[in-house]
C-alpha cells in the first residue's frame, strides 16, 4: 500500500538542494517506500526527487524511476509515491494535481507540467516573435487557472515587432517583463527573481528565445544553451527534456524544450471563449447564454469587435481556434 498522500506543498515536498548531479540508482534508497516529486522525464523514464522526510535514508536524493505497468501519464511536477523494485523506483501512485498544463493537436497531447503557480511565456526579437504563440500560451494558462507572465528577452536586439507584441499582452492584462540576458544579466536576474521568488514557474517559449540562458542567470546552474540556427527563423532545440529545478526554499523553475505550435485541441469552445480576457470585458450578455460568438444572432462580442472595443486580430484569432483547434482532443482524458 502506498503511503498516505501528503498535502501537495507540505514541507516534506521540497525538491532537493543539489541539482545537476547525476541521478542515483535507487539501490541507495534503503526504505521500501518513498514519496517525492517528478523533476524530469525522458520518455518512459523519470527522475524523482525524494522528499526530505525524517528517517528516510533516500531523502533529498534524485533517483531513477519508472511508472508501474509502464504507465506514461506522469509529468514533471507530479507528486508521486514509489516503491523499490530491482534497483529502480517504481511510481505506484500520483497525487491529485492542482493543475496540468498541456498543449494538444488532433494527433497528440503533450503535457508540459503539473502543479505550477505560473507560466512564464518567453519570446524575443530573435527568433522573430509570433504573437499568436504568446496568445495561445495565455489561453492555455487561463484555462488551467495558472497566472501568466510574458517575458520579452533580448531587448539588446531592437525589435519593434517584439515591443508591439509585449504591449498587446499588457493590454490583455497580463504581467509583462523586459530583460536582456546578454546585455544586462544582473538586471535580468533581479527581475526574474521578483517574478519567480517563492513560486513554481514553468518557462515556455519557442526554441532559441533564451529560456535556459535566463534560468542559468537565476539559479546559477549550467543548463545547456544553444546558438540560433543558421537557417534562421526558428532556433534549433537545445533543451531536450523538461526539468524542474528547486529555487530558493519554497519555489521552483521549470525549463522546457522550445516548440512552435501551441495546440489547444483540449479546450472546448466554451473554455476558449471564457479564457479570452478581452471577451470578458464585454458585460452585455449575448442573446444565447451558450453563445460561441461565431454566427449566432445578437452576439455582444461581435458587436464589440464592430465597435473597436475588441481588436479584429484577436477576434480572428479566436475564430481560427474555434475552427481548427477546439475540441479536436475533446475525448482526451485530462487526468
Ligand atoms: N542577443 C541576445 N542573445 C541571447 C540573449 N539571451 C539568450 N541569447 C542567446 O540565444 C541563444 C538561445 O538561447 P537558449 O537559452 O539556448 O534558448 P532556449 O529558449 O533555452 O532554447 P531551447 O532550449 O531550444 O528551447 C543562445 O545563443 C543565447 O546566448 C539576449 O538577451 N540577447
Ligand atoms: Mg533551453
Ligand atoms: Zn456571443
CA dist list (Å): 163 to 150, 154, 170, 184: 12, 11, 11, 17
Identify the pLDDT of residue 287. Answer: 96
What cell does 126 get?
A: 530573435
Q: Tell me what the mean pLDDT of segment 20-37 comes to.
A: 62
The CATH architecture of the domain made up of 269-326 is Orthogonal Bundle (1.10)
Residue 7 reports pLDDT greater than 80: no
Residue 155 reports pLDDT greater than 90: yes
pLDDT, tens digit (0-9, with 9 covering 90-100), for 258-305: 988 899 988 898 999 999 999 988 989 999 999 999 999 999 999 999
Identify the pLDDT of residue 3. Answer: 38
215 Cα nearest atom in ligand 1? 15
pTM of the model: 0.87
Number of alpha helices (DSSP H) and beta strands (DSSP E) in the chain: 8, 13
Distance 180 CA to ligand 1 centre (A): 10
225 confidence band (pLDDT: 50, 70, 90): confident
Q: Which ligand is nearest to the CA of 181?
A: 1
d(CA 166, CA 147): 16
Window from 60-69, 71-80, 100-109, 286-295 with minimum mean pLDDT: 100-109
Q: Which ligand is nearest to the CA of 322?
A: 3
Q: Which CATH class is domain 33-94?
A: mainly beta
240 Cα nearest atom in ligand 1? 23
Q: Tell me what the mean pLDDT of segment 145-159 comes to.
A: 96
Domain segments of the chain as ranges: 33-94, 100-255, 269-326
CA 126 to chain centre: 21
Identify the pLDDT of residue 61. Answer: 85
Whether the upstream peptide bond of residue 127 has omega within 30° of 0, thus cis, is yes
Distance 274 CA to ligand 2 centre (A): 31
CATH pick for 100-255 out of 3.40.50.620, 3.90.1490.10, 3.30.70.20, 3.40.50.300: 3.40.50.300
Name every protein residue with a CB atom under 6 angstroms from any ligand 1 atom.
153-154, 156-157, 180-183, 205, 207-213, 225-228, 235, 237-239, 257-258
Amino acid at each position: 500500500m502506498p503511503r498516505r498522500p501528503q498535502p501537495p506543498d507540505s514541507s516534506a515536498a521540497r525538491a532537493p538542494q543539489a541539482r545537476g548531479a547525476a541521478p542515483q540508482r535507487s539501490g541507495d534508497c534503503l526504505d521500501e517506500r518513498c514519496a517525492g516529486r517528478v523533476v524530469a522525464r525522458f520518455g518512459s523514464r523519470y527522475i524523482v526527487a525524494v522528499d526530505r522526510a525524517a528517517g528516510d535514508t533516500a531523502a533529498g536524493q534524485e533517483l531513477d524511476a519508472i511508472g508501474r505497468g509502464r504507465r506514461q501519464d506522469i509529468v514533471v511536477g507530479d507528486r508521486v509515491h514509489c516503491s523499490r523494485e530491482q534497483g529502480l523506483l517504481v511510481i505506484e501512485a500520483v497525487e491529485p494535481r492542482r493543475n496540468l498544463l498541456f498543449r494538444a493537436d488532433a494527433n497528440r497531447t503533450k503535457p508540459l507540467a503539473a502543479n505550477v503557480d505560473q507560466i512564464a511565456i518567453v519570446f524575443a526579437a530573435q527568433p522573430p516573435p509570433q504573437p499568436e504563440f504568446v496568445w495561445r500560451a495565455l489561453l492555455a494558462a487561463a484555462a488551467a487557472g495558472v497566472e501568466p507572465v510574458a517575458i520579452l528577452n533580448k531587448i539588446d536586439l531592437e525589435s519593434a515587432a517584439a515591443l508591439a507584441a509585449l504591449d498587446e499582452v499588457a493590454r490583455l492584462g497580463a504581467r509583462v517583463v523586459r530583460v536582456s540576458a546578454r546585455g544586462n544579466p544582473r538586471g535580468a536576474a533581479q527581475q526574474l527573481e521578483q517574478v519567480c521568488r517563492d513560486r513554481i514557474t514553468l518557462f515556455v517559449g519557442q526554441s532559441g528565445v533564451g529560456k535556459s540562458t535566463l534560468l542559468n542567470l537565476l539559479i546559477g546552474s549550467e543548463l545547456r544553451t544553444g546558438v540560433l540556427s543558421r537557417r534562421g527563423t526558428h532556433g534549433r532545440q537545445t533543451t531536450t527534456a523538461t526539468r524542474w529545478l528547486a529555487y530558493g526554499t519554497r519555489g521552483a523553475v521549470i525549463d522546457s524544450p522550445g516548440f512552435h505550435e501551441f495546440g489547444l485541441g483540449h479546450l472546448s469552445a466554451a473554455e476558449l471563449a471564457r479564457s479570452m480576457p478581452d471577451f470578458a470585458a464585454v458585460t452585455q450578455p449575448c442573446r444565447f447564454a451558450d453563445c460561441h460568438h461565431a454566427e449566432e444572432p445578437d452576439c455582444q462580442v461581435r458587436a464589440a469587435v464592430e465597435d473597436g472595443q475588441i481588436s479584429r486580430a484577436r477576434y480572428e484569432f479566436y475564430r481560427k481556434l474555434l475552427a481548427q483547434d477546439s475540441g479536436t482532443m475533446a475525448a482526451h482524458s485530462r487526468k
